[in-house]
Structure 1
């Protein structure tokens, strides 16, 4: 019996380590690092600027581990399906991963349905700046989403490796922004 209890505790500790791989260092109200990065939209590459996007309204910045993985494709598809709702609220969406721009160019068409851009952060400077580096697999970004208000501060964040609730939570957070922030 003691061995069984010890085994259960070890399994629970292992599961907790897998599901809680990092903590969001940027809390609500914290300023975010402004970044520029190579990005792709509809298979075409361009230079994305968070500062320029924030000048137009709130931005959802979501980090994901790897383009073309099952869960990342599910999440990208869900953001693509909801993009009109974000746009109606004056918000834009940008996905960020450590994938190279060539991979993300294809992903922007296939999974993002050419509806929103995805940015390449091969050096992981943006990922680290938002504390989105997966601690157990440091070559990957964690699944972490932020709503950034036009003033450049975190309005909301959500972290979970399961992609199912990210879009819903980000949409609700954008809806909850003061009207001057949500529709600038």
Structure 2
């Protein structure tokens, strides 16, 4: 079942780019969080999106927010992607689609491509914005707009 605005984000764990288990309870419910799901590391639109989050990362941290990227790529792929583009935020590996299913992230283009969806979550762990759009860069703008309203 897809997550909706107003829902509380359930607890989850996943491996980060270093192969370390990330526990959502270290962030969710403690500070505003932006979780963005993207199709694939090192592809044109996904790279543009990740680099836009990187370039605006200070704006997010100034608002007290954490940014987390999620795709089905391996931890090794995430590590290379993160190092290549100097990404300062956490990337989680969702190769079993557990997180996509938990959040209800749809697939795009007739089910061929994993969806690109951004969730803005407040400091209580409540989803405040769900933005589903294949364009990468606009996600950053929408997430910052919502964060400015809720912090």
TM over 0.5: yes
Once residues 48 and 142 of structure 1 are traced to their aligned partners in structure 2, the CA distance between those partners, rounded to angstroms, is 22
What's the TM-score, normalizing by structure 2?
0.92
Query: Rg bigger for which structure?
Result: 1
Conservation of the 8 A alpha-carbon contact between 2:67 and 2:90 = yes
For 1:10, the equivalent position in structure 2 comes to none
Once residues 72 and 62 of structure 1 are traced to their aligned partners in structure 2, the CA distance between those partners, rounded to angstroms, is 11
For structure 2, the residue ranges without an aligned partner over 5 or more in a row are none
Conservation of the 8 A alpha-carbon contact between 2:29 and 2:125 = no
Structure 1 residue 47: Cα displacement? 1.9
Q: RMSD over aligned Cα, in angstroms?
A: 1.7
Conservation of the 8 A alpha-carbon contact between 2:67 and 2:89 = yes
Structure 1 residue 141: Cα displacement? 2.8
For 1:77, the equivalent position in structure 2 comes to 51
Q: Which has the higher strand share?
A: 2
Once residues 55 and 12 of structure 2 are traced to their aligned partners in structure 1, the CA distance between those partners, rounded to angstroms, is 26
* Secondary structure at 2:39 match in 1: coil
Q: Which has the higher helix share?
A: 1
For 2:144, the equivalent position in structure 1 comes to 171
1:147 aligns with 2:147: no
What's the TM-score, normalizing by structure 1?
0.76
Greater relative contact order, per chain length (Cα 8 Å cut-off, separation 6+): 2
For the structure 1 residues 116 and 153, does the alpha-carbon distance in structure 2 shift closer, same or farther, using more than 3 Å as the test? Answer: same
* Secondary structure at 2:56 match in 1: helix
1:107 aligns with 2:81: yes
For structure 1, the residue ranges without an aligned partner over 5 or more in a row are 1-23
